[in-house]
Structure 1
Amino acid sequence: MNKSYLFLAPGFEEIEALATIDVMRRAGMDVTTVAITTDDSQTVTGAHGVTVKADIMPGDEDMSVAEWLICPGGMPGASNLAASSEVTALLKAQAARGGKIAAICASPALVLEPLGILDGRDATCYPGMEPTNSKANMTRERVVALDTIITGNGPASTFPFALAIVSNSCGKEAADKVAAGMLFC
């Protein structure tokens, strides 16, 4: 299992980022946070004022062989991810090689959809963020888990979203074990 990377841009949704990291690490997955900032700081403040020090900056590690690239939502976090040429280049390359990508809340609509990553696929996003004229089939599901793309619709869907990532990488039994340990019903 390769390392996974979760992007943190100013205004990220804290629950979606931190709970996803926690669930993945409980399953033994190697997930690293990446600061996407304009001031080259590893310190990133979320949409609700929670400040986090990311593990690395872009360029610190080779992310071209990542198992997962993960985009939490939040505003303006999702917009900041979409505006990052580093993030969009990594996502396009990951999609081109058939690599795994997960996005939740506003990020499926604002980050993945404009890059064409969701074209012809079922996906979900935060209600009301659905792009017009999308080539994706945007549903109202909480989580849509495909072979290489997982999307979630918002903060309350973070646990099923993160467990879908674990199930995809480690198997359903591992995801069920993590869920049981957290008393997730």
Structure 2
Amino acid sequence: MALTLHHFTLLSHPPSAALSARLLRTKRFSFPALINSKRFSGSVMASAPRKVLVPIANGTEPMEAVITIDVLRRAGAEVTVASVEKQLRVDACHGVKIVADALISDCADTVFDLISLPGGMPGAASLRDCKTLESIIQQQAADGRFYAAICAAPAVALGTWNLLKGKKATCHPSFMEQLSSSATTVESRVQQDGNVVTSRGPGTAMEYSVTLIEQLFGKDKANEVSGPLVMRPNHGDEYSVLELNPMEWKFKNSPKILVPVADGTEEMEATIIIAVLRRAKADVVVASVGDKLDILASRKVKLVADVALVEAAQLSYDLIVLPGGLGGAQTFANSEKLVSLLKKQKEANRPYGAICASPALVLEPHGLLKGKKATSFPALSNKLSDQSAAENRVVIDGNLITSRGPGTTMEFALAIVEKLFGRTKALELAKTMLFVYP
């Protein structure tokens, strides 16, 4: 799938000759600052590692952090997730628990090709108040290397640090007035001006991340990575789903939803599902299908579940929904307890669903798609016994919902919100997250 850039506003500001010369005299240089130097051949630049720093804090928006980390690692970037707190574990927004790779103090002497700040409040304020991070990113800007921010972070952090002066930038609509005092504000979903990239919110995070890949690796790599993500071709437009055999999804009080996770689970899919459903005020239980609550997801993001599956299995759920990821899906398929829960869910005519690898590797082999239309990750759709609906991004058939991959997860989660709370609520969330134009 070709990358569409029609919503991006790109400005090219290569470093001046004086800056290039200064960078060549110092050890603190990296690929982006030297991209126009004739002294560096394509083969040398191609072999240079791209180091990326993604700082996180308590109250960070987890979708923005995890999507950025995941997508950049897909491109081969060496991403360091650094906590600005006193401990590695961070309690992000919506109860998502992330374990960082390092403390920010461990990163002070490392040269990064890119620093990307996720948003979320009070996470963005904690990033702003971290003196070590401020020092690192001020040096990043002084050396002409890339830095970026999304959602609240452009206004709250970069603007406060005076790093957007004379730049065009964007952010979440609720922070645009604050941003206007430190930058020229624009409403692009993703905005690049020179060595700075900014973006609007969770619903633009994947486009933002692919833009960062293009800056670090070039358009060919951006296209290569974006294809398997199954990204939307029409960013910002209202989403649609294929629904067959419509039925009401019933629940009492707040819907109780089980989201199993395991080593190898696709972290973008899990995080988006959990965060979106919790934004809708659903009672989401994240259960580890393994011996520990900590899991190492498919792109090495470290997440922490709420409970073990053995404990979660003692309850009943209004919905059970499986994220994908090859390793995670295989673990799900091999879990007698989880498969038993899913079969009981189907027999009771209660809703269940899966995305990416899980429809093909978990639901299909255990007879949980019998008599149902479904979709899955494109490369695995040939494993579905009925492939007639496999080209659709989200398919609902009665009490079953399935979807294709990371780039369809937001639509998948919003479709669940719509079934539980109605389309008005789903579109309200979609607009707040900037997935759909407000």
Q: What corresponds to 2:349 in structure 1?
A: 98
What does 1:1-185 align with in structure 2 at a 5 Å threshold? 1-37=254-290, 40-62=291-313, 64-132=315-383, 134-135=385-386, 137-185=388-436
Letter in 2 for 1:14: E
Higher RCO (CA < 8 A, seq sep 6+)? 1
Stretch deviating more after TM superposition (146-155 or 127-136): 127-136
TM normalised by structure 2 equals 0.40
Question: Retained in 1: the 8 A contact 2:261–2:305?
Answer: yes
CA distance in 1, matches of 2:387, 2:367: 8
% same residue: 37
Stretch deviating more after TM superposition (61-70 or 128-137): 128-137
Q: Which digits, 9 at most, give the CA deviation of each residue in 1:104-152, with x for residues without a partner? A: 0000001111121211211100012124471564511111123311101
Q: Which digits, 9 at most, give the CA deviation of each residue in 1:22-57, with x for residues without a partner? A: 1101111111100001xx211111000011110011
CA change 1:129–1:101 in 2 (3 A) is same
CA change 1:121–1:136 in 2 (3 A) is farther
Alpha carbon RMSD of aligned pairs, Å?
A: 1.5
Residue aligned with 2:352, SS: strand
Stretch deviating more after TM superposition (49-58 or 112-121): 112-121
Q: What corresponds to 2:231 in structure 1?
A: none
Question: Retained in 2: the 8 A contact 1:2–1:65?
Answer: no
Q: Indicate the structure with greater helix content.
A: 2
TM normalised by structure 1 equals 0.93
* Matched pairs, number: 183
CA change 1:126–1:133 in 2 (3 A) is closer
CA change 1:170–1:141 in 2 (3 A) is same
Letter in 2 for 1:96: E
CA distance in 2, matches of 1:63, 1:170: 26
Stretch deviating more after TM superposition (103-112 or 52-61): 52-61
Which of structure 1's runs of 4+ aligned residues deviate more than 4 A?
Answer: 135-138
Letter in 1 for 2:357: A
Which sections of structure 2, spanning at least 5 residues, go unmatched?
1-253
